Amino acid sequence: MLRLILQGLLLTSFIVASVLSSHAQQPATGLTGEWVGNSEPPSGSQFLRVSLTENAGEMVSPLKAKLSTVQLEGSRVRLEVSAIKLVMTGTLAGDVIEGEAEVPGIKAPFRLLRTVKVAPEILARYVGAYRFRNGDHIVIDRFPNTQDTLWVTDVKSGQARTIFPRSEVQFTGGPALYVASPTRQTLTFRDYVLGSGPTTVRGSGPTVREGTAVRSPLPDGRGTAPNRRRGTAPNRISASHPSGVHVVDLDHKGRKSGVTATRVPIRHEEVTFKNRDVTLAGTLLLPAAKGKRPALVFVHGSGAQSREMYWGLGYLYAARGFAVLAYDKRGVGKSSGNWREASFQDLADDAVAAAKFLQARTDIAANQIGFWGQSQGGWIAPLAASRLPEAAFAVALSGGGLSPADTELFDTEFELIKAGYTADEVKEALAWQRLKNEIIGSADKWDEYTKARAIAKDKKWFRHRGIDVYGAEKPDDPFWTHMRRSYVYDPAPALRASPPLLAIFGELDSPDGVKAQVSAIKQILDQAGRRDYTVKVYPNGSHNLMEVPPDNPNEWVRLKRFPPGFFETVVDWTTTQVRKRPTRR
């Protein structure tokens, strides 16, 4: 009898392994598939995403366009986008297309890697924090504008990269943020349930089918996956969450090192709360442990921002015991209102409403709630904290010391110098921008502004991307009303009234601007007699704090990491602040 049982288990394990292998790693033929990769023109690396069938296709990135030609003859591939006169010719070898891309006057090598299309609901299951045995973490996140993409950040090293699906359970990433190959990391998610029937969720861990689960190897030969129940037809992978992920890193010589990380149980709640007549919708992360816990409210940057966890930092906070609330900005996603008509004070009050919503819960320590913001959020987080008497802390990244208007002057100067404009051109652009700023504050110089704009609009620097020289042509343009709500905001009163502050900058955001921001924060708080603040400047850090290598200052796709320990530093500092405030009964 025992022998028969063992034979049955072995046979079942073999069947499950075969199903997984055929489902996840069936050899691809022809061109059909989702392809990602890079071209390398002289101007810098360009990320590519292409969706192909045998004789048709679409370019998804860097622009959306139908392919006018899709040909495969033997191993030779030809792809064309007639709208931009792009021709890509290369060779197909298994899951790689390699060759040359050409637009009129420019040729560049390119390389594409075949991936698979994975349903958004499956990708959503992988998002979260994973803990290694030594206590280190990786965090996996999705951004609202890239729902088909997963991002993984190693908390200790700061390494951040996009990972692309090679199957529903296995993903690979390349040597840099948006570089798909050569493969430098493989992640294989563990403990999924196979079967076509319903699944049962028990607690916050992995979904488990009722009955006995028989373990079998995953397609790559590592780890285990629960077997399907006898009598159910094998279908697709179906589960709520994996229990862990096996991470294999490859160095530039192809040497492997692998380790498994266990998923940290984190609960998600969809929530809504109100600030006067505006209803705001968000996601609340809650640690598995019971009891009152500290909390963090994420505050948005500029523009139409949805709820997000800043490269997975929110999941690290939840793994370290914080409740984390991220919400859609007013007028974005599921939130009502209009951010274009909101002042900094309005947006800060939205964040305060989020904090008061948390204070009303029995599982949140009402006096251990803080605010975290990056870019425009660097002004709003301290402002929100100053408007909540019980606030425990404020974290401001890449903003908050000077007015936005003065900050943008430094940014314009830095970007134009970096782009090669002459000293006279830079001086001219800054003079124009200062005049525009005066009009934002008062329209007294409108005639002077009109004459200056007629000259400025034809200057090359007026069309330079990424700087704030634009000014509307007419005095009744909504541009002016919108800018007056925020552009000349004075951060000093909020800084003086805020709770303990952590201000963080990347040195290369704009070097002179960062120095001025740091100096302003220190002067404001020192003169107010405040000593409960910390200012950190990370060398080589950019506006979002990712390090910019000296050899490729303008190539976003080739960025590799945040400053090592940056995520841990932020969480450790906030943890210290809440520990100074015993939980209020």
SS (H, E, C) 376-425: CHHHHHHHHHHCCCCCCEEEEECCCCCCHHHHHHHHHHHHHHHCCCCHHH
Sequence-ordered list of residues with C-beta below 8 angstroms from that of 585, at least 6 positions apart, any chain:
none
Q: Is the pLDDT of residue 260 over 50?
A: yes
| SS3 of residue 127 by DSSP | coil
Cα–Cα distance, 519 to 379 (Å, whole number): 16
Residue 573 φ then ψ, to 5°: -65, -45
Q: Using the 8-state DSSP alphabet, how is residue 8 labeled?
A: H
* Cα-Cα-Cα-Cα dihedral sign, residues 408, 413, 417, 420: positive
Number of H helices, E strands in the chain: 12, 29
Instruction: State mean pLDDT over 479-487.
Output: 90
Which pLDDT score, from 0 to 100, does residue 554 have? 65
Residue among 338, 326, 318, 339 nearest 381 (CA): 326
**Contact (CB, 8 A) for 70 and 79:** yes
Which pLDDT score, from 0 to 100, does residue 23 have? 36
Measured CA angle at 396 (ends 336, 565), to 5 deg: 120
Q: Where are the beta strands (DSSP E) in 206-255?
A: 215-216, 225-226, 237-238, 244-250
Extract long-range pairs of 171-179: CB within 8 Å, 24+ residues apart.
175/252, 175/560, 176/557, 176/558, 176/559, 176/560, 177/546, 177/556, 177/557, 177/558, 177/559, 177/560, 178/38, 178/47, 178/556, 178/557, 178/558, 179/38, 179/45, 179/47, 179/557, 179/558
Which pLDDT score, from 0 to 100, does residue 43 have? 78
pTM metric for this prediction: 0.84
Instruction: State mean pLDDT over 338-348.
Output: 95
Q: How confident is the model at residue 240 (pLDDT cuts 50, 70, 90)?
A: low
Q: Is the pLDDT of residue 337 over 80?
A: yes
Instruction: State mean pLDDT over 313-332.
Output: 96
**Tens-place pLDDT, residues 75-134:** 999 999 998 899 999 999 999 999 999 999 899 999 999 999 999 889 999 999 999 999
Cα–Cα distance, 573 to 376 (Å, whole number): 21
| SS3 of residue 337 by DSSP | coil
373, β-bridge pairs? 299, 396
Q: Is the pLDDT of residue 18 over 60?
A: no
Q: Is the pLDDT of residue 201 over 90?
A: no
Size of the chain, expressed as the number of residues it contains? 585
Q: Is the pLDDT of residue 36 over 50?
A: yes
Instruction: State mean pLDDT over 337-361.
Output: 96
Which pLDDT score, from 0 to 100, does residue 570 have? 96
Q: Is the pLDDT of residue 138 over 70?
A: yes
Q: Structure tokens of 186?
A: 């493989």
Cα–Cα distance, 382 to 84 (Å, whole number): 46
Low-confidence winner among 271-275, 295-299, 347-351, 484-488 (lowest mean pLDDT): 484-488
Q: Is the pLDDT of residue 410 over 50?
A: yes
Which pLDDT score, from 0 to 100, does residue 227 have? 33
Half-sphere exposure in the Cβ direction for 518 (13 Å, CA): 16
Measured CA angle at 84 (ends 80, 85), to 5 deg: 50
Which pLDDT score, from 0 to 100, does residue 79 have? 96
Which pLDDT score, from 0 to 100, does residue 59 have? 93
Q: Is the pLDDT of residue 257 over 90?
A: no
The rounded percent of the chain whose pLDDT value lies above 70 is 84
Half-sphere exposure in the Cβ direction for 178 (13 Å, CA): 17
* Cα-Cα-Cα-Cα dihedral sign, residues 241, 247, 252, 253: negative
Which pLDDT score, from 0 to 100, does residue 27 have? 46
Average pLDDT, the chain: 84
Helix axes 446-456, 423-441, angle to 10 degrees: 150
Q: How confident is the model at residue 444 (pLDDT cuts 50, 70, 90)?
A: confident
Which pLDDT score, from 0 to 100, does residue 556 have? 84
Q: Is the pLDDT of residue 49 over 80?
A: yes
**Tens-place pLDDT, residues 491-515:** 999 999 999 999 999 999 989 999 9
Q: How confident is the model at residue 147 (pLDDT cuts 50, 70, 90)?
A: low
Which pLDDT score, from 0 to 100, does residue 258 have? 79
Instruction: State mean pLDDT over 521-527.
Output: 96
Instruction: State mean pLDDT over 454-479.
Output: 91
Q: How confident is the model at residue 582 (pLDDT cuts 50, 70, 90)?
A: confident
Sequence-ordered list of residues with C-beta below 8 angstroms from that of 536, at least 6 positions apart, any chain:
502, 503, 504, 505, 569
Sequence-ordered list of residues with C-beta below 8 angstroms from that of 533, at least 6 positions apart, any chain:
500, 501, 502, 503, 521, 525
Cis peptide before 182 (omega within 30 of 0): yes
Q: Is the pLDDT of residue 212 over 50?
A: no
Cα–Cα distance, 169 to 181 (Å, whole number): 19
Instruction: State mean pLDDT over 235-241.
Output: 45
Q: Is the pLDDT of residue 169 over 50?
A: yes
Cα–Cα distance, 352 to 349 (Å, whole number): 5
Residue among 135, 414, 342 nearest 259 (CA): 135
Q: Structure tokens of 313?
A: 């930092």
* Cα-Cα-Cα-Cα dihedral sign, residues 126, 127, 129, 132: positive
Measured CA angle at 346 (ends 341, 348), to 5 deg: 135
Which pLDDT score, from 0 to 100, does residue 552 have? 67
Sequence-ordered list of residues with C-beta below 8 angstroms from that of 481, at least 6 positions apart, any chain:
none
Which pLDDT score, from 0 to 100, does residue 250 have? 73
Helix (H) / strand (E) containing 193: strand 193-194
Instruction: State mean pLDDT over 354-368.
Output: 96
